[in-house]
Chain A
Amino acid sequence: MTAASLEVARPRRRPLGAAPYWLGAAILAALSVSFSDRLPEWMVEYPRAWRIPIEPSISAAMKWLINDATFGLFTFQQFTRSIAWCFNWLLEAAYGVLAEGFTFGKGEDALHIPHVSWIALIIVLVMFARRVGDRGLMLFVGFCFAYLAVFGQWASAMVTLASIVISVPFGVAAGLLVGIAAYRKPWVERAVTPVLDLMQTVPVFAYLVPILFLFGFGPVAAMIATMIYAAPPMVRLTVLALRGVPEEIKEYGRMAGCSQRQHMWKVMVPAAKSGLLVGLNQVVMLSLNMVIIASMIGAGGLGFDVLHALRRLAIGEGLEAGIAITLLAIALDRLSQAAANRPPPAHGSVRAGSWFVRNRLALAALALMVFSMAAGTVVPVITDYPASMTVTTGKFWDHVVQWLNINLYDTITIVKTWLLVNIMLPVKGFMVALPWPVLLGILAFAGWRLGGWRLALLPLALGAFILVTGNWEKAMITIYLCGLSVVIAALIGIPLGIWAAVEPRRRRATLAVIDTLQTLPSFVYLIPVIMLFGVGDFSAMIAVVAYALAPAVRYSIHGLRQVPEHLVEAGRAQGCSRGQMLWKVRLPLALPEIMLGINQTIMMALSMLVITALVGTRDLGQEVFTALAKADTGKGIVAGLCVAFIAITADRLIQAWSRRRKAQLGIA
């Protein structure tokens, strides 16, 4: 069936039906900008007098929470600090095992037990990789950790790993329990969903300040921020995985006479295991993504190294530590994915026998690590990779940057200036000059067309919040930066996706690259950008595009791939040329899916924008970032909410469009 015959099959509403509205909105916006001097003042710039001071009340509430809130026997702050104390204790233990060793006693006759040997840890990880995966995974994991040792990143990497080892189980457990509650009780799900939306769209920086106040500066605060950031996908994936358990298995559990608890833990959770492990993988990846940001409130390790180097513009050092984070992330990602995708056991693979026999490999690994700690007291090389043998490439990279700056400076500057003058500044000017009632009106109308009055109210309410808190102009700059980046990312990503979707080999290669790019912590993208382009809006945009490109490509590939084969065959049978096939059959059918990719691109661009505040933008991201620097709770949270509201508005509108379009095409 070609697109033309699809139209015939569809009742009355033609696909071009929305075009006049788009055009009308564009003309309205353009007119309102060009005649903005004729409009009343309050329409162009939201009057200061109409603002509502929300920030101070939030700050005051925070102060009350810290200073005066009490549970009777103890204050709120004592409560949070005691939680921090518990976590700290665990974290210290993990540091001791992995990074620092333990010291008993003081002074001359103190007994020092060194941390686990680098050799032993690599052996254990490689053996684990062999068990859950293939030889390739084994070699890769070995390579990654050898890199850490050889390039002198081991100590920092172990500090990072220790915090991951402690925070991931808590994040997973919390996510699992909340997910189970949401699965069981619809009202819990209704309550939790908007909270999750906010947790995933409010930039992390926004809640760093309150966490700082409640838990104090240090690794524990960083860890708690990490958990808040990393747990939401676990909740969602838990609900999804439990829902995905076949109905018959649920019924069987009840027919077997399971109590509620037995039903959940003996039937549902094991049956949903592979889905839950995907959640675990997500928690690990997001925790690693947070490593650098967390170092802003006191986490040590690789994140601190990168941040420290970036602040001194020591590109080489930053790059090395950045690569170390990347390798750690990819290695842990591949390991947890392999564990998640491991087929259920085959007969005979589970050795019968006592607990000791069944867990002999894990016990051997444990024994090896304990032994290596003991052996380290005698032979120091076992504990630490000898410093004299480390290699550093920091100098090399510094030279590369120098060379680039000397030889490419002119070219880069020309491109940069041209883009700034001809595209970026005009768009920015347009967005800032656009009267707020016009933009809100257009969004509300789009919402009404796509999803009725509820969806029309959403942009109005969220936009009103941005207005009354006085963040409109910064929000417009955010939209301009984000919008331009998304357009560029789409212009690169969609053609790339189309190119890759056609042929299996290209597709696999492209997806492998995309997968790897997505495991990189967002901060890492800043390093080469600063290297090449210095600071400013342009650098920010490049970093955002690089970070947000992946979903545009991935969803394009996915969308084109899932076009039903019989429609493609029908097109071929009717004699479509390759071009016709793409433009008339594949792309129209793939468009809803591609739009979801654009949606993801927007989400990622917004989250990256806050980080690019480091290179000197002047949008909401900067607002959040400076609030962190000034420890201003109210300002940080309000600006963070503004970013989240932009994200939620875009998300709801695009999702509604995509759903409707899919329904029209009959491919929902």
Chain B
Amino acid sequence: MTASTGTIKLACKGVWKLFGDHAERVLAETGGAPDDDALRASGVIGAVRDADLEVHEGEIFIIMGLSGSGKSTLVRCLSRLIEPTAGEVLFEGRDLLKANERELMDIRRHKMGMVFQHFALLPHLSVLGNVAFPLEIQGVDRATREARAAEMIELVGLKGREDYYPRELSGGQQQRVGIARSLAVGPDIWFLDEPFSALDPLIRREMQDEFLRLQSVLKKTIVFITHDFDEAIRLADRIAIMQDGAIIQTGTPEEVVTRPATSYVAEFTRDVPRAKVVSAGVLARPGTPGPVVVPAAARIGEVAAQVFDQEQPVGVADADGTPIGVLHRQDVLDILLGREPRR
């Protein structure tokens, strides 16, 4: 998983969401950038503060933050379930906030999918009915939409459960339905709002694997919300970390772990095993490689055994196969022991 550098699918610039009676006035009076004191004095709550982000086509972009950090509000601003107080949200280059009711409905019908923390399945519809629902809303005829829904249900591994009702399914199965439903329209952007947070740890792990499998097939552009840093590290191409409504760092898992922007981020990353995030390319030093060469994107945890098993230094090559250096045993050992990498 490398950070993809494709075209920008979704971006937001200077998005603010203030809750309170005089939200807009406060924003205007402070020149569009109220500080903590100004907010506190006016009794307005800054749920999202001056958020900038860019989501590239085909990447898994994770917004990570603890509860109350504004991540759910931010994703709702991106999908315009909540009207931001200020800023712009660019979806495929056009400002989503300027779209009228009709255009927004069209965009949501054809280009957006969303998965919810508590599944949000419609209790009166069967699995098939739920997955076909977004198509029904578009006015797709019954046979077509049910065929498509059946296809999606098979994709998420629920074949045979088409006639079941949500209450008859386990949490994990319900979320599979939620996923199938959100994919039924073939969305261009896929929002997942803490999709696995309501699940047991074992099921969560299984669903994460399932999610990665689906993404390897579908290559969607994904905005994924979580409060679980391990989940973020595991799934993300890039992570944005939020605190008190503001994005405090954006980067690959490796960047976030190895170069935390603030002590708050460092606190999060402290217990993350370095070997799982640091890639071979970072540790490569000039030298003559032996017969074994590993890709630069490989995590240290994955190649450590080879480094110690080989007599000769293990080489590192970039995506094109060009050698960029070798791995030193001491560097690898430092990473394995959780020490800061030496430069």
Contacts and interface: CB of A to CB of B under 8 A. Distances in A.
A344 B124 CA distance: 7
Interface string B117-146: 111101111100000011011100000000
A270 B114 CA distance: 21
B116 interface: yes
Given A257-B109, A270-B124, A246 B118 contact: yes
A255 B114 contact: yes
B112 A255 contact: yes
B163 A255 contact: no
B167 A257 contact: no
Interface in A306-350: 343-348, 350
A257 B120 contact: no
B106 interface: yes
B122 A267 contact: yes
A270 B173 CA distance: 22
B165 A271 contact: no
B126 A347 contact: yes
A234 B133 CA distance: 29
A343 B166 CA distance: 12
A254 B106 contact: no
A252 B109 CA distance: 11
B211 interface: no
Interface band, chain B: 20 to 34
B228 to A, nearest CB: 19
**Which range holds the interface residue count of chain A?**
20 to 34
A267 B108 CA distance: 16
B55 to A, nearest CB: 17
A248 B120 contact: yes
A388 interface: no
B137 A256 contact: yes
Contacts of B167: 343-344
B114 A252 contact: yes
Given A344-B167, A347-B163, A347-B164, A252 B108 contact: no
B118 A347 contact: no
A257 B105 contact: yes
A371 B168 CA distance: 40
Contact of B117 (A248, A270, A350): A248
Contacts of A246: 118, 120
Interface string A53-83: 0000000000000000000000000000000
Interface string B85-127: 0000000000000000000011111101110111110111110
Interface string A338-381: 00000111111010000000000000000000000000000000
A103 interface: no
B81 A248 contact: no
Interface string A424-465: 000000000000000000000000000000000000000000
B250 interface: no
Chain A CB count within 10 A is highest, among B118, B122, B161, B167, for B122
Contacts of B126: 347, 350
A271 B137 CA distance: 16
Contacts of A270: 122-125
Given A248-B117, A255-B112, A344 B123 contact: yes
Given A251-B81, A256-B133, A257-B105, A271 B122 contact: yes
B120 A252 contact: yes
A248 B105 CA distance: 18
B252 interface: no
Contacts of B175: none
B250 to A, nearest CB: 25
A390 interface: no
A346 B138 contact: no
Contacts of B73: none
Nearest to A267: B122
Nearest to A249: B120
A423 interface: no
B124 A255 contact: no
Interface in B8-30: none
Interface of B: 76, 79, 81, 105-110, 112-114, 116-120, 122-126, 133-134, 136-138, 161, 163-165, 167-168, 191
Q: Give 6 nearest A-B pairs by CB, closest first.
A: A257-B109, A257-B108, A248-B120, A347-B163, A252-B120, A347-B164
